[in-house]
Amino acid sequence: MTQATEYSTQSSFPFPDAFSTSLTAMFDEVQPAIVQVHTERRGGGTGIIWHRDGRIITNNHVVPSDTAKVQVHLSDGRTLDATVLHRNPPLDLAMIKVSGDNLQPLSVGDSSALRVGALVFAIGHPWGQRWVMTAGIVSSLSAVKRSDGLEVNYIKSDVQLAPGNSGGPLLNAEGQVVGINAMIFGGDLSVSIPSSVVNTWLAELPRRHVALGIEIQTIELPDHISQQLQPQRSSGLLVVGTTARAEYLSDILVGDILLAAAGTPLHDAKTLRYVLRQRAEGDTLSLHILRGGKFLSVDAVTQTLDEAA
């Protein structure tokens, strides 16, 4: 008599399902921070939202012209115009900038912690196909001396890349960007610029800060003015000069006394800087001011200024 054998339909090795679920969750989390970059007369590439103020990192060869129109496509369907802020052709890096709300930056990981055999992922737009994810392992970590004498570090992996992936992220297993995908090497290995190289380049750039384009000094308020304010305060910020173009200044005049910005009482310059750090370039900031003994509400447009590193 033949004995029937029962087979379980339930996997005794659940890791693949758990791993698949984790990858799906990682993709959903990082997708909003990865954009498609389209350059007029050139084609498309990929970019990474590096800061919520709209700064995006991509490859220099994705945006090689300073005159061509550049647009960025977001995963939520928005299309935003972009401008090139900085570029580094030897490293094949560029920073572009867009203005928009609810921009989600990608978390940056430590590329120096990568080891050969580590699992990595790439997300980009190969051949125009949007938000395609591929997986591989780190094949080698090496430094190459260029003809100009510059030594450049690279990550080589077997993640699948194609035209359109350039400028996109190489992600570690935690979903952090550890490299910027740049090219195919030898037909099968993908080359990425380590995040440590990107961070070093960014640290050498002039720092940028959001400002109102005015020169101020802290002054004591007369008692009869102070008592009318809620909450009461003894000091305000006197506008003593301007550094911005007229279109940024809006209704601010030299001699105005700033009392509050976006509802926050202004006791000193430090408080104003705190408010501005929460803003992006081009935001409209509501100001409560004192002008000629009268309380007024005016709007000012924020701008971004460079300062020495």
| Active site annotation includes 61 | yes
Q: Which residues contact 106 (CB under 8 A, 6 or more apart)?
A: 30, 33, 34, 48, 49, 50, 169, 176, 177
Confidence of residue 60 (pLDDT cuts 50, 70, 90): very high
33 alpha carbon, distance to own chain's centre: 8
Domain boundary among 55, 71, 97: 97
Query: Does residue 102 form part of some domain?
Result: no
Tell me what pLDDT residue 273 has.
85
Q: Model confidence at 1, in pLDDT bands (50, 70, 90)?
A: very low
Backbone angles phi, psi at 6, to 5 degrees: -95, 135
Asked if 84 and 146 sit in the same domain, the reply is: no
Which of these ranges, 5-14, 43-52, 70-79, has the smallest mean pLDDT? 5-14
**Do 175 and 235 lie in a common domain?**
no
- Per-residue pLDDT at 196 exceeds 70: yes
pLDDT at res. 230: 85
Greatest mean pLDDT among 6-15, 103-112, 197-206, 247-256 lies in 103-112
Give me the CATH number covering residue 231: 2.30.42.10
Same domain for 164 and 195, yes or no, is yes
pLDDT of residue 36: 97
129 vs 306 pLDDT, higher one: 129
Tell me: do 180 and 221 sit in the same domain.
no
- For 146-157, how does the pLDDT look when each residue is reduced to its tens digit (9 = 90+)? 666 667 789 999
Q: What are phi and psi of 304, to 5 degrees?
A: -115, 130
- H or E element in which residue 141 lies: strand 132-145
The pLDDT assigned to 250 comes to 62
**What average pLDDT does this structure show over 288-301?**
91
pLDDT band at 41 (very low <50, low <70, confident <90, very high): confident
Residue 51 sits in a domain whose CATH number is 2.40.10.10
DSSP letter (8 states) at residue 62: G
> Do residues 128 and 178 both lie within one domain?
yes
For the stretch 245-279, pLDDT in tens is 555 556 788 999 999 999 899 988 888 988 887 78
Domain boundary among 175, 200, 225: 200
Q: The tokens of 100 are what?
A: 């928009």
87/123 same-domain check: no
Which of the listed residues 167, 200, 233 is the one where a domain comes to its end? 200
> Residue 10: is its pLDDT beyond 60?
no
Give a yes or no: residue 125 inside a domain: yes
Per the structure block, which two tokens stand in for 152? 């450049």
Q: How confident is the model at residue 220 (pLDDT cuts 50, 70, 90)?
A: very high
Q: What is the pLDDT of residue 210?
A: 79
Active site residue 224: no
The one catalytic residue among 38, 61, 86, 288: 61
Q: Is 17 a known active-site residue?
A: no
Among 166, 190, 195, 196, the one annotated catalytic = 166
Containing structural domain, residue 177: 111-200
pLDDT value at residue 241: 86
For residue 65, what are its two tokens? 């012209």
Q: Give the integer Cα–Cα distance in Å for 201 and 180.
A: 13
Active-site residue identified among 38, 53, 86, 92:
92
Across 50-63, b (16+ Cβ under 10 Å) vs e yields: bbebbbbbbbbbbb
For the chain, the domain total comes to 3
Residue whose tokens read 């490859």: 59
- Distance, in Å, from the CA atom of 26 to the CA atom of 31, rounded to the nearest integer, reads 8
